[in-house]
């Protein structure tokens, strides 16, 4: 059982490492590492998921949540995922919108089996594997934002906010924390992989796309103020993008591409930055 669980966690850690690396948008080397880690994780988790369905059939909802996270990262950054590849056959990539159409029903099926609780600091393999509902809700909200279905995204974001589990500072700032050991100092720290800031910024994005500009700016300002960032205009989508870039938020590149803000927010050539995410 230990090796069975450990193999699952190994694949999950690859996904989390890829997501952590994806917050850096300035170099192709980092994004290549993300891609390699994602496909390694996808293959490991698929193998464990298949074995679990034939044996215990208890880890399915948790593995499906992490598989959805890997698919989300790959689809939103590169526009698709190669699903079901074997040594003998590599099928065409499933394109971004079709990937979201896979993620959404899978997570809706998994959600009732996940626990309603705040995410604990990860101390062992069980803490890493057994994710709470809010992790699935964040992934669902991201998928719906990718589909530009703002109303459904808002439903999941509001569900997270209503729990009262999270805040913008301290130990409750992360929905999916990951402990790590510094290679040089040996000190243990925590990376905030999925962050409550992202929930509020996604909600601000949805409000802006529903023509609720003042509400969107107010939501973005909460995140900006907590990080000593000053908003510079009344353009909510622009300000959300700037806050995302300054905070090195995961899923910033897909956000900028979604709203055609690459050049205006980052100063990078639009064609160049779009090549990074395609």
90-99, 159-168, 212-221, 248-257: the lowest-pLDDT one: 248-257
How would you write the chain as a 3-class SS string?
CHHHHHHHHHHHHHHHHHHHHCCCCCCHHHHHHHHHHHHHHHHHHHHHHHHHHHCCCCCHHHHHHHHHHHHHHHHHHHCEECCCCCCCCCCCCEEHHHHHHHHHHHHHHHHHHCECCCCCCCCCHHHHHCCEHHHHHHHHHHHHHHCCCHHHHHHHHHHHHHHCCCCCCHHHHEEEEEEEECCCCCCEEEEEEEEHHHHHHHHHHHHHHCCCHHHHHHHHHHHHHHCCCCCCCCCHHHHHHHHHHHCCCCCHHHHHHHCCCHHHHHCCCHHHHHHHCC
For the chain, the structural domain boundaries read 2-276
* Top-confidence residue, 130 or 2: 130
Each residue's pLDDT tens digit, 71-84:
998 898 888 999 98
Residue of 126 and 8 predicted with greater confidence? 126
Q: Which residue has the higher pLDDT, 15 or 257?
A: 257
- Give me the pLDDT at residue 223, please: 96
> Does position 99 have pLDDT exceeding 80, yes or no?
yes
The residue behind tokens 């929905």 is 175
Residue 116 has pLDDT above 90, yes or no: yes
The whole-number pLDDT of residue 169 equals 81
pLDDT of 268 = 61
Top pLDDT among 274 and 71 is at: 71
Q: What is the dihedral of CA 54, 38, 80, 259, to 10 degrees?
A: 130
More confident residue, 156 or 42: 156
Q: Report residue 1's pLDDT band, with 50, 70 and 90 as the boundaries.
A: very low
Residue 227 has a pLDDT of 94
Residue 57's pLDDT band (boundaries 50, 70, 90)? confident
Q: Are 201 and 243 in contact (CB under 8 A)?
A: yes
Distances (CA, A) of 248 to 93, 115, 203, 213: 28, 29, 18, 24
Of residues 147 and 20, more confidently modeled: 147
C-alpha 237/C-alpha 234 separation (Å) is 9
| Fold designation for 2-276 | 1.25.40
Q: What is the pLDDT of residue 43?
A: 85
- Cα angle: 101, vertex 18, 255; to 5 degrees: 55
Rounded to two decimals, the pTM is: 0.87
User: Is it the case that residue 124 has pLDDT exceeding 90?
Assistant: no
The tokens describing 97, both together, are 């919108």
């Amino acid at each position: 059982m230990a090796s069975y669980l450990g193999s699952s966690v190994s694949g999950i850690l690859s996904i989390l490492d890829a997501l952590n690396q994806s917050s850096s948008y300035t170099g192709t080397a980092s994004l290549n590492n993300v891609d390699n880690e994602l496909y390694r994780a996808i293959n490991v988790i698929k193998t464990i998921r298949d074995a679990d369905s034939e044996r215990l059939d208890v880890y399915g909802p948790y593995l499906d949540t992490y598989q959805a996270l890997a698919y989300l990262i790959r689809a939103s950054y590169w526009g698709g995922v190669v699903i079901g590849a074997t040594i003998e056959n590599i099928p065409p990539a499933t394109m971004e919108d079709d990937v979201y159409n896979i993620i959404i029903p899978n997570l809706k099926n998994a959600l009732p089996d996940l626990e309603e609780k705040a995410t604990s600091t990860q101390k062992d393999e069980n803490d890493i594997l057994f994710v709470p509902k809010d992790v699935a809700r964040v992934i669902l909200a991201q998928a719906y934002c990718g589909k530009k279905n703002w109303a459904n995204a808002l439903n999941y974001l509001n569900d997270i906010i209503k729990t009262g589990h999270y805040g913008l500072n301290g130990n409750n700032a992360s929905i999916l924390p990951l402990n790590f050991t510094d290679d040089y100092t040996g000190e243990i720290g925590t990376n905030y992989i999925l962050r409550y800031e992202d929930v509020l910024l996604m909600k601000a994005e949805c409000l802006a796309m529903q023509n609720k500009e003042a509400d969107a700016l107010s939501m973005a300002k909460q995140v900006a103020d907590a990080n000593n960032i000053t908003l510079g205009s009344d353009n909510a989508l622009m300000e959300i993008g700037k806050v995302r870039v300054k905070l090195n938020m995961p899923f910033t590149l897909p956000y900028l591409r979604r709203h055609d803000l690459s050049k205006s927010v980052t100063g990078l050539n639009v064609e160049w930055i779009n090549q990074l995410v395609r």
